[in-house]
Amino acid sequence: MTPWNRLKSDGLHVLDGAMATELELRGCDISGPLWSAQVLADSPDSIEAVHDSYLEAGADCILTASYQVSFEGYRELGLAPESAAEALRKSVRLAESSRDRYRLRSRRPVWIAASLGPYGASLHNGAEYHGNYDCSFETLVSFHARRLAVLSETTADLAAFETIPSLEEARAIVIALRGFPEIAAWLSFTCHDELHVAHGEPLAACGSLLQPEPQVVAAGINCTAPELVSSLIRSLRRTFTRPIVAYPNSGELWDAEHRCWHGQSSIGEYGELARKWADAGADWIGGCCRTGPKHIKTLREALQQIEEVKGSQTLP
């Protein structure tokens, strides 16, 4: 991985959007417990196609299809530990292949972030949205460290710890990261209101935890209602001075009981919201669940206009 102290990420940048949403639209079956990670084995070309679509839409950073990959989750499904390790490596190779193709027609820098879900994602019961885990702190540290050990040998530019629900899990990730001092990472939290992460701790407290950690090159919010994001960014900015990432859901609501989405989202409105997130202090902006390349294209256009007003060339 790229050493954290060589990773330059100043200015406004565009993240990609949802992987699972796009895979489902392409006919992939993501209904099982491995979610989009199942497609790593079944249809890797589809994953590359999704990466390609986000790069064409203007993403500066693509996230690997590895959110649901973990040794523990694979073991519960009767899969060998090496299959989880290979899935992590494969997810990075697919992103790298897409980036290499894109570089043949564009000189725009592109980062690869290795997506790592929280411990709750491995339980397959929605625990990542509340963080009430029945495990020891040491188990949390080990859970994250095992995947970092694999990713440390890949070409990913950084690790993206996503949908973190609690201050305790963030603390476990920090300790796991210290065992791999060459790895850069961002931590993004899922939040249930304008000030607090899903488990209930203030997001500002999470920022205070991360601020002294040199490997944490960014922190922020994902898988959260878009209308909450501006307030959350301002709260985090009070205690965290490095880049802030913001990639909320489309605005639609997930019905866990019936396993379906409700409501509508406006792609144009998403672009307008992105302007507000940038004004609030976000530096890396993208989309999470139910967003797609059209959201990212609109978002990039909106951020481009901001940079043009500033007279900056950050967004080429």
- The Cα–Cα gap between 147 and 100 comes to 24
Q: Is the pLDDT of residue 18 over 80?
A: yes
Q: Is the pLDDT of residue 314 over 60?
A: no
Res. 30 pLDDT band, cuts 50 70 90:
confident
Residue environment code for 153-168, b if the CB has 16+ CB neighbours within 10 A, otherwise e: ebebbbbbbbbbbbbe
pLDDT digits (tens, 9 = 90+) for 121-168: 998 888 998 999 999 999 999 999 999 999 999 999 999 999 999 999
pLDDT at 33: 82
Q: Is 183 exposed, middle or buried (0-12, 13-18, 19+ CB in 10 A)?
A: buried
Q: Is the pLDDT of residue 88 over 80?
A: yes
Contact 116, 162 (CB under 8 A): yes
For the chain, which domains are there?
A: 4-310 (3.20.20.330)
Q: Is the pLDDT of residue 295 over 80?
A: yes
Within a 13 Å sphere around the CA of 227, how many CA atoms are in the beta-carbon half?
A: 6
Neighbours of 103 (CB within 10 A): 13
pLDDT at 31: 83
What is 93-117 written as a DSSP string?
Answer: HHHHHHHHHHHTT-----EEEEEE-
Neighbours of 207 (CB within 10 A): 24
Instruction: State pTM to two decimals.
Output: 0.92
Q: Is the pLDDT of residue 101 over 60?
A: yes
| Virtual torsion, Cα 69, 47, 148, 130, nearest 10 deg | -50
Q: Which of 226, 191, 312, 184 is nearest to 17 (CA)?
A: 226
Contact 254, 224 (CB under 8 A): no
